[in-house]
Structures are given as structure tokens and as C-alpha cells.
Amino acid sequence: MKLVLKRSPLPHRPATAPGEIVLRQWDSTTWTTHFHNLQDSGYYHGSYFSERGEAEKDYEHKIQRYSIYPM
């Protein structure tokens, strides 16, 4: 299925490609939060969860953590 539930752009920094943090429903019992590089079609590098609530918490945590870096 791999349904995107939420996405948040990451601030672009000179040393990184433009990207976003994504919360995705992988199948009926699995959710993932991952970084999506907008310049290639790379793999989903992230965290996998069996409960949506835990995945949503991780998604919010990643947004806070990776949005604090100066541009």
C-alpha cells in the first residue's frame, strides 16, 4: 500500500539535497517514518512501527530534531 499520511519539508542546507520527512502507512499493520531525498528514488531509510500512534510521535520528533539546524 505505502500510503503517505503526512510530509514535512526539511530546510535546505548547502551540504544536503532537498528532502522531506514522511509518515507512511506501509501496510495494514506497519507504519514508517523516513527521510525522502527529493533528488533520487532511494530506499526508505527510517523507523518502522506496529502502532500508528508511535509512528506519529516519531514523525513529530524527527521534524523538531531536524528543523533546528541553521540554514
Q: Is residue 28 in some structural domain?
A: yes
* Residue 45: predicted pLDDT: 73
Torsion angle in degrees (nearest 10) through CA of 9, 27, 49, 6: 20
Cβ 61 vs Cβ 45: under 8 Å: no
Higher pLDDT, 35 or 12: 35
Residue 71 counted as domain residue:
no
Predicted local confidence at residue 37, as pLDDT:
81
CA separation for the pair 52, 71 (Å, rounded): 31
Structural domain containing residue 44: 3-66
pLDDT, position 19: 82
Residue range 25-49: mean pLDDT, rounded:
85
Q: Confirm whether 39 is domain-assigned.
A: yes
pLDDT at residue 71 above 50?
no
- Structure pTM? 0.80
Nearest to 7 by CA among 71, 46, 50, 68: 46
Number of neighbours of residue 35 by Cβ within 10 angstroms = 17
Q: Is the pLDDT of residue 41 over 50?
A: yes
